[in-house]
Amino acid sequence: MIRPALMSDLPAIQSCAEAAFAPYVARMGKRPAPMDADYAAAIDAGRAHVLEVEGEFAGFLVAYATGTALQLETIALMPEVQGKGLARDLMTFVDAMARQNGCTRITLYTNAAMTENFGFYAALGYDETHRTRQDGFDRVFFKKT
């Protein structure tokens, strides 16, 4: 089940971000941006959603409409549920969010050091649009129409 996040989900979301992105700290030489994001603000703005499996927190996403695009800001799963197809479930939810908001495309970015993500996004129909350094991070941008 995917539902809007509540403020009571904040500790689980923060813990998930820490656990999901920790493996990249050594590779990047610093903490990935999602580890320090303001998830309280995302919850308050209605941008965060939680994935539950059998009533237990399993992951989350942060996404919001910006005109005709839906921006996927963060997607993360608890390490113990990774590799079970749940990321695809979250991405299918993102597709539905885009349709519900009248968006014609979905945009997202990932860190250039998170190379595992490139093939995942490509398999879901995302095309790389550009690379740039932003907010101190080397980012790779993707789009799906």
Give per-residue pLDDT as tens, 74-124: 999 999 999 999 999 999 999 999 999 999 999 999 999 999 999 999 999
pTM for this predicted structure: 0.94
Q: Helix or strand or coil: residue 49?
A: strand
Reported as a single tens digit per residue, the pLDDT across 49-60 is: 999 999 999 999
Residue 12, C-beta contacts closer than 8 angstroms, at least 6 positions apart? 50, 57, 60
Q: Which domains does the chain possess?
A: 2-144 (3.40.630.30)
Tokens at 128, concatenated: 């790389």
Which residue, 61, 55, 20, is CA-closest to 43? 61
Q: 110 by DSSP, 3-state: which? A: strand
In this prediction, residue 55 carries a pLDDT of 94
- The rounded distance, in Å, linking the Cα atoms of 16 and 53 is 14
- Best CA proximity match to 87, nearest among 64, 116, 67: 116
